[in-house]
């Protein structure tokens, strides 16, 4: 398994990875609460971006409704915790089951009835919006009034109940991001990954060579959905409040796809690198404007949009493949 993980990577890529990981581990001891929150945001978008990447980057199925899986994961774990006192890690099992089932339904309908390309993307948005209006009117989940978790006590870290200081959340998310990164690499090097890539490149050719395209597209959607549900749990327990209007919003789905798009769809480094670049830019801009005493809500998204526009026009592969080639980090073929 280790062999499969590191196979083909140049040594300097491994050294860089180890260095990055070491930096990420010691980071909470070196930075204040503000930058810790920024790091959490970066990891959050790296995580969700990687989970989305499995569907779009590997299997070529464009989802613009991933907020659906975040929201379902968040609501499942939060209601179980708030109403029945079930710890989030147990709730996560239920959340994974719910999101995988939901992904399976969407995938089954779409792939069985040959809803593809842009129509598929629209279908995913429609499901997310359907859930948004549904949860807005569902009194069990407290509807539009929102669901609140008892606020975390900073003095005492309880990993099992996921209540505590942001640093604990940071490490939980870091571990999850590393896990999803490793899992993605393993998938990419497995039969499943090769089939997915074949489907992405040319679905008809893949089917003609005997790949059960329906089944592997289903796997990709279900894996991606299940992985995303963890991000939902994290969201719910980190922010302690859930509003359908916010978690299921289209702009949440768009946020999720920005990091992998800018970093490089279908690559492993892309979502992480993209998240760093985007959040770094946003924070840099925020601090710059702050020194002049200006606060413009929405400017961050304009910058994100502009970066995405530039990348789509000039580097459709994304930033990471371009940089990796220049630094000699690209995988040998």
Shortest CA distance to 196 belongs to which of 322, 30, 57, 72?
57
Q: Which is nearer to another protein, 25 or 288 (CB)?
A: 288
Instruction: Pick the binder of another protein from 297, 328, 332, 333 (CB under 8 A).
Output: 297
Using the contact rule CB under 8 A, the part of the chain among 25-33, 90-98, 119-127, 201-209 near another protein is 119-127
* 312 touching another protein, by CB under 8 A: yes
Question: Which residues partner with 242 through β-bridges?
Answer: 147
Identify the burial level of 9 via C-beta atoms within 10 angstroms of its C-beta, where 0-12 means exposed, 13-18 middle and 19 or more buried: middle
- Report helix angle 213-239 to 33-53, nearest 10: 160
The Cα–Cα gap between 214 and 61 comes to 12
Site for another protein in 85-114 (CB under 8 A): 109-110, 113-114
CB 241 within 8 A of CB 149: yes
Q: Which is nearer to another protein, 83 or 119 (CB)?
A: 119
The Cα–Cα gap between 313 and 165 comes to 42
Where do we find the tokens 């390309």? 117
The Cα–Cα gap between 49 and 66 comes to 10
Instruction: Pick the binder of another protein from 167, 168, 308, 315 (CB under 8 A).
Output: 308
Using the contact rule CB under 8 A, the part of the chain among 122-130, 164-172, 203-211, 227-235 near another protein is 122-130
Where do we find the tokens 């549900």? 229
* 319 touching another protein, by CB under 8 A: no
* 302 touching another protein, by CB under 8 A: yes
Give the interface with another protein as residue ranges (CB under 8 A): 62, 64, 109-110, 113-115, 117-119, 121-123, 125-127, 129-130, 133-134, 136-137, 144, 250-251, 254, 261, 296-299, 301-302, 304-306, 308-309, 312-313, 316
């Amino acid at each position: 398994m280790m062999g499969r993980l590191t196979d083909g990577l140049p040594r300097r890529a491994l050294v860089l990875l180890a260095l990055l990981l070491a930096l990420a581990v010691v980071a909470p001891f070196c930075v204040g609460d503000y930058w810790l929150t920024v790091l959490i945001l970066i990891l959050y978008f790296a995580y969700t971006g990687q989970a989305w990447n499995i569907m779009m980057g590997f299997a070529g199925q464009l989802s613009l409704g991933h907020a659906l899986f975040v929201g379902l994961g968040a609501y499942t774990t939060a209601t179980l915790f708030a109403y029945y006192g079930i710890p989030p890690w147990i709730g996560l099992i239920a959340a994974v089951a719910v999101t995988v089932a939901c992904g399976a339904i969407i995938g089954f309908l779409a792939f069985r009835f040959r809803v593809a390309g842009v129509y598929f993307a629209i279908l995913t948005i429609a499901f997310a919006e359907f859930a948004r209006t549904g949860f807005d009117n569902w009194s069990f989940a407290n509807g539009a009034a929102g669901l609140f978790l008892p606020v975390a006590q900073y003095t005492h870290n309880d990993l099992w109940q996921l209540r505590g200081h942001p640093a604990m959340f940071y490490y939980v998310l870091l571990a999850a991001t590393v896990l999803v990164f490793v899992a993605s690499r393993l998938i990419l090097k497995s039969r499943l990954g090769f089939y997915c890539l074949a489907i992405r490149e040319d679905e008809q050719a893949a089917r003609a060579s005997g790949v059960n395209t329906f089944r592997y597209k289903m796997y990709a959607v279900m894996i991606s959905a299940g992985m995303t549900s963890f991000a939902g749990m994290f969201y719910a327990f980190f922010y302690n409040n859930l509003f359908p209007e916010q978690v299921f919003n289209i702009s949440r789905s768009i946020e999720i796809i920005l990091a992998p798009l800018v970093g490089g769809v279908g690559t492993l480094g892309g979502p992480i690198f993209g998240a760093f670049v985007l959040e770094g830019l946003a924070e840099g801009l925020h601090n710059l404007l702050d020194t002049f005493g200006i606060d413009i809500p929405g400017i961050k998204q304009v910058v994100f949009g502009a970066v995405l526009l530039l990348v789509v026009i000039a580097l459709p592969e994304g930033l990471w493949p371009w940089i990796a080639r220049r630094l000699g980090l690209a995988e040998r073929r």
